[in-house]
């Protein structure tokens, strides 16, 4: 299968959505390879989202991502990267609630920022993000 980085963001953790999100992951045929709950600090969140560093929402994004613990998971399935992106739904949780009512973001997100989950958007991003949280786990 193909591995991707799934993350439950602080609003998902505080809203007690962890078990429901994991249930969706497993019901959709993913294998959870590894998981790690961690409190990001500003330096971590800045690095993780560095591609967005010039955006107006970036300071708020870093504040949000450091507001509490996140749960990072390596999950695996055939076409896992796109399958997980499809399950989480559009970035803006408010819009997701209208256009993708069964998506995870419709279930637990509340805005364009507070969208409760993350998924790598490419193979390159998945490799980088898995390395970010877990180091080189492919070495076994
Ligand atoms: P992620 O990368 O977290 O899976 P995404 O790929 O759907 O989300 P990106 O465009 O990469 O969305 O944005 C990264 C994150 O920045 C979003 O998940 C969201 O938390 C925040 N964000 C994106 N757009 C906005 C916005 N317009 N206002 C506030 N926050 C935003």
Distance 112 CA to ligand 1 centre (A): 7
Query: Interface pTM (ipTM) of the complex?
Result: 0.93
Q: Is there a binding annotation on residue 105?
A: yes
DSSP state of 136: -
Distance 20 CA to ligand 1 centre (A): 22
pLDDT at 85: 98
Q: Is there a binding annotation on residue 57?
A: yes
How many helices (H) and strands (E) would you count in the chain? 8, 4
Domain ranges in the chain are 2-135
Exposure of 133 in the CB half-sphere (CA atoms within 13 A): 26
**Domain covering 2-135: architecture:** 2-Layer Sandwich (3.30)
What is the distance between the alpha carbons of residues 49 and 67, in angstroms, rounded to a whole number?
A: 15
Strand order in the sheet with 69-77: 31-39, 69-77, 2-8, 117-119
Which one of 52, 53, 68, 91 would you pick to mutate in the ligand 1 pocket, going by the greatest count of ligand atoms within 8 A of its CB? 91
> Mind listing the pLDDT tens digit for each residue in 23-77?
999 999 999 999 999 999 999 999 999 999 999 999 999 999 999 999 999 999 9
Look at ligand 1, atom 31, and give the residue with the nearest C-alpha. Answer: 113
The β-bridge partners of 119 are 6
Question: Is residue 139's pLDDT more than 80?
Answer: no
Give catalytic residue positions: 118
Distance 140 CA to ligand 1 centre (A): 32
């Amino acid at each position: 299968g193909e591995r991707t980085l799934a993350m439950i963001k602080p609003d998902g953790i505080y809203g007690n959505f962890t078990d429901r999100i994991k249930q969706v992951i497993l019901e959709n045929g993913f294998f959870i390879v590894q998981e790690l709950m961690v409190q990001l600090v500003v330096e971590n969140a800045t690095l993780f989202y560095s591609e967005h560093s010039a955006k107006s929402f970036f300071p708020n994004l870093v504040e949000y991502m450091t507001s509490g613990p996140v749960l990072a998971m390596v999950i695996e399935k055939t076409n896992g990267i796109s399958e997980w992106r499809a399950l989480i739904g559009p970035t803006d949780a408010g819009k997701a609630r209208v256009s993708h009512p069964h998506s995870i973001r419709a279930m637990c997100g509340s805005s364009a920022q507070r969208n409760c989950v993350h998924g790598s958007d490419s193979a390159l991003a998945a490799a980088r993000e898995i390395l970010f949280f877990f180091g080189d786990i492919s070495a076994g």
